[in-house]
Structure 1
């Protein structure tokens, strides 16, 4: 008997539900039956889209790599006329969940503690992020050694921020970002760069 489309759902529907379980309850909660129950779909519908649970988990990791690491690298490579403007481009990731999903990053890091293969992918992702930020600094005249230290300071700080699940008022966080950028770069922040950044995040300053 052919599976009714309403019982199958779509690949995105199953993946989104798996994302919710992962970020809320950890990887052990991501199982086919709980997903089917959560979605109100037939369990067999899952297998129209994924070979097995491992395939679903791999799809989640791929989504994380493409979204978080891919977007972070793109923002680090975005056009800028100064290092401080480049940093504002990068800081878009910390404010726009469509660019960088902090909940997913934390879930992946927690999961990787007990998964050697995932830990390797996480290490590769962190290395790629660090390299992109290092190259961003190098484009603006920093030595390779200085660029690497500044890049890793940014990476480690953000990992800590996510892992500690720090809560800040959004307005206060945005107001503090120019000061963070001055600390990270050692350069004063131009008002034009600051106001452009504030405007694209609908912040009045």
Structure 2
């Protein structure tokens, strides 16, 4: 077997997708092209076609991965076990602090891509609807009526998308200081010490000693 036909010489679908995501985040969708990807990976251009029919197939795979990561990641957090709405809200806030659950840079890149692609606009619209519906159902499970649940869900979601769209930057300490107030605004209930302690522990945060 020649070297060019070995798995190492072709890479893998995930390798090509990872590189495509890097280019998308660095330079936008116009930079996601087969030849630059091949050069970045030091693979032959023809090896791309072992995994994707063409560039359009690659772009569709990028959208599918974003959908699975960010939309499903957020939906899963709205459905995670919680004793009360405050704990449920903090589960959702995990998304904004853990890029493994929700990648804000990727979200920004996708929304930038949508500015020049009607099909991606439709994908964004569908994702927005799914995410807001998941947040609405979360509030309904904890006794909020349908209208209040939807308004609260929309407010949470649109606030975070605003953060992403504006590329707002906050230190972990500043964000953690603001989270209790956000929780109370969004749910109508302040978080308790135990709930905040568990949340802080999940994100490796130690509040400053106020004694």
Same fold (TM over 0.5): yes
- Map residues 32-181 of structure 1 onto 2, 5 A cutoff: 32-181=34-183
Provide the alpha-carbon RMSD of the alignment.
1.1
Unpaired stretches in structure 2, ≥5 consecutive residues:
none
Q: Deviations over 1:97-146 (max 9, x none)?
A: 11111111111111112211111111011000000001111111111111
Q: Deviations over 1:2-47 (max 9, x none)?
A: 5233321111111000000001100000000000111111001111
| 3-state SS, counterpart of residue 91 of structure 2 | helix
Is the counterpart of residue 201 in structure 1 residue 174 in structure 2?
no
Is the counterpart of residue 15 in structure 1 residue 17 in structure 2?
yes
TM-score (norm 2): 0.94
* 2: CA distance, partners of 1:17 / 1:179: 39
* 2: CA distance, partners of 1:157 / 1:37: 39
* 1: CA distance, partners of 2:81 / 2:9: 46
* 2: CA distance, partners of 1:178 / 1:138: 21
Structure with more contact order per residue of length (Cα contacts < 8 Å, sep ≥ 6)? 1
| 3-state SS, counterpart of residue 5 of structure 2 | coil
Give runs of ≥4 in structure 1 deviating > 2 Å: 1-7
* 1: CA distance, partners of 2:113 / 2:45: 24
Q: In the TM superposition, what is the alpha-carbon distance from 1:49 to its structure 2 partner? A: 0.7
Specify the alignment match of 2:7 in structure 1: 5
Q: In the TM superposition, what is the alpha-carbon distance from 1:176 to its structure 2 partner? A: 1.5
* 2: CA distance, partners of 1:35 / 1:66: 23
Unpaired stretches in structure 1, ≥5 consecutive residues:
none
